[in-house]
Amino acid sequence: MKNLNNKKILFIICGGISAYKSLETIRLLKKNSAEIKTILTSSAKEFVTPLSVASLSQGKVYSDLFSLENETEMDHISLSRWADVVIVAPTTANTISKLAQGTTDDLASAVILASNKQIYLAPAMNVRMWEHKSTKTNLKKLKDFGYKFIGPEIGDMACGEYGEGKMSEPLKIADELNQFFLNQSQNKKFKALVTAGPTNEYIDPVRFITNKSSGKQGYELAKCLSKKGFDTTLISGPTNLEVEKDIKLIEVETADEMFAATQENLPVDVAIFSAAVSDFKVKNKSQTKIKKEEALNLNLEKNIDILNYISNHNSMRPEIVIGFAAETNEVLKNAEEKLNKKNCDWIIANDVSNKNIGFNSDYNEVVIHYKNKSLKSEVLPYKRKSEISEEIVDRIIDQLN
């Protein structure tokens, strides 16, 4: 497990009989040279002691949300930023419920909500609790939020019952974390470029032509690429969205500015053009504000087609070029035509006439069309844009590797 070497792991232990497995997991991670900090919930102390955890982790054990000793450190922020990854083991039904609701009534839940790192949950509970509808609803929400799950397993439980809900063994948890860091290190050799948001094409200094794109899908793609280890550049038109600090953000306004920024940031291994670039710009933009008239005639000219240019610019062409097709009718037909016309490798199409997945929505439903005809088109059904991004990036990684 050499990929654990010198990695910073924040280990959160919740209150359950499976907490004893957490001690062995910590020992295994330390044996492989990981650096560990731990948080114990108040109920976890009923099963394992801070002293036993500290002796194995060789570090301080945290538990209080408001600690007089660390008042100036704001532990819920500093701990979440310190870690390379967060693991919660065991993750109880109560913790799953709290995280699904966004509750932050203790240090553990506050750290998790404040974290910008990948969070793994290792559930452990009675089989009836695991199978309860409320738990299943909460699990779906957490998967939509981007949490990853390790287990649970099927087996004999401490309560004497048998079924699914048993916490995964320490070796499996350590293996999953090792694989996470392996994937990150493999992906660090890759560079990615994402365009997102609308563009503004000015009529005069105060008026412009634009569209309804929010940039949400593009920002989620950039976030996912960065989290999985890619050296990621995001070229964004005007949005109100925030970006992760590890992502290189280039803010532009017009299509010409987006095109110039794209050229300046090549070469890359993968380029995803999710921005809704205006097809036209005003040919003779007024340098002063146009006064109100009975009628206003605008002379428009085509903007450069960034996707088409990059797809056919062989000297700097990325290995994978992906375009988006936001359509309102004949979605599949138009997407296939765009795929062939632009010479890109993938077209990802969605129906923006559907308000549930249209502009400004946090949800999407897309179809991936591949230039390689040996690959069949794939439907990614209705889910959060963050989860759509995960599936897209996983397919990108498979193709690059």
pLDDT at 213: 92
Alpha-helical (H) ranges within 68-116 are 75-82, 93-101, 107-114
Question: Could you tell me if 175 and 46 lie in one domain?
Answer: yes
pLDDT at 72: 44
Question: Could you tell me if 143 and 270 lie in one domain?
Answer: no
- What six digits make up the tokens of 297? 């005639």
Question: Could you tell me if 212 and 89 lie in one domain?
Answer: no
Question: Could you tell me if 364 and 296 lie in one domain?
Answer: yes
**CA dist., res. 69 & res. 349, Å (int):** 53
Any idea of the CA torsion for 206, 208, 211, 213, to the nearest 10 degrees? -50
Active-site residue (options: 14, 159, 224, 344):
159
More confident residue, 69 or 87: 87
Question: Could you tell me if 270 and 310 lie in one domain?
Answer: yes
Question: Could you tell me if 114 and 205 lie in one domain?
Answer: no
Question: Could you tell me if 293 and 369 lie in one domain?
Answer: yes
In the predicted structure, residue 304 carries a pLDDT above the cut 80? yes
Question: Could you tell me if 170 and 209 lie in one domain?
Answer: no
Q: Would you say 125 and 93 are in contact if contact means Cβ atoms under 8 Å apart?
A: yes
- The helix or strand, by DSSP H or E, that contains position 282, with its residue range, turns out to be strand 280-282
Annotation marks residue 159 as catalytic: yes
In the predicted structure, residue 91 carries a pLDDT above the cut 70? yes
In the predicted structure, residue 185 carries a pLDDT above the cut 80? yes
Final residue in a domain of this structure, among 185, 211, 241: 185
The structure tokens 């230039």 sit at 371
In the predicted structure, residue 367 carries a pLDDT above the cut 90? yes
Mean pLDDT value of segment 298-314: 92
- Looking at every residue in the chain, the average pLDDT score rounds to 91
pLDDT at 236: 97
Range of the domain at 15: 2-185
Q: Please report, for the domain that includes residue 235, its CATH number.
A: 3.40.50.10300
**CA dist., res. 37 & res. 76, Å (int):** 13
Q: Tell me, what DSSP letter sits at residue 290?
A: P
Q: Using pLDDT thresholds of 50, 70 and 90, give the confidence band for residue 360.
A: confident
Mean pLDDT value of segment 91-97: 96
pLDDT at 237: 96
Three-state SS at 264? helix
pLDDT at 297: 87
DSSP-assigned beta bridge partners for residue 366: 380
The pLDDT tens digits for 134-179 are 999 999 999 888 899 999 999 887 777 888 999 999 999 999 999 9
Question: Could you tell me if 180 and 239 lie in one domain?
Answer: no
Q: Would you say 41 and 63 are in contact if contact means Cβ atoms under 8 Å apart?
A: yes
pLDDT at 357: 82
pLDDT at 71: 45
- What six digits make up the tokens of 229? 């280890």
Question: Could you tell me if 163 and 15 lie in one domain?
Answer: yes
Final residue in a domain of this structure, among 185, 215, 238: 185
Question: Could you tell me if 240 and 252 lie in one domain?
Answer: yes
pLDDT at 323: 96
**CA dist., res. 273 & res. 197, Å (int):** 10
Question: Could you tell me if 22 and 119 lie in one domain?
Answer: yes
Pairing state of beta strands 363-370 and 346-351? antiparallel
pLDDT at 224: 94
Q: How many domains is the chain partitioned into structurally?
A: 2
Final residue in a domain of this structure, among 161, 185, 209: 185
Q: Please report, for the domain that includes residue 20, its CATH number.
A: 3.40.50.1950
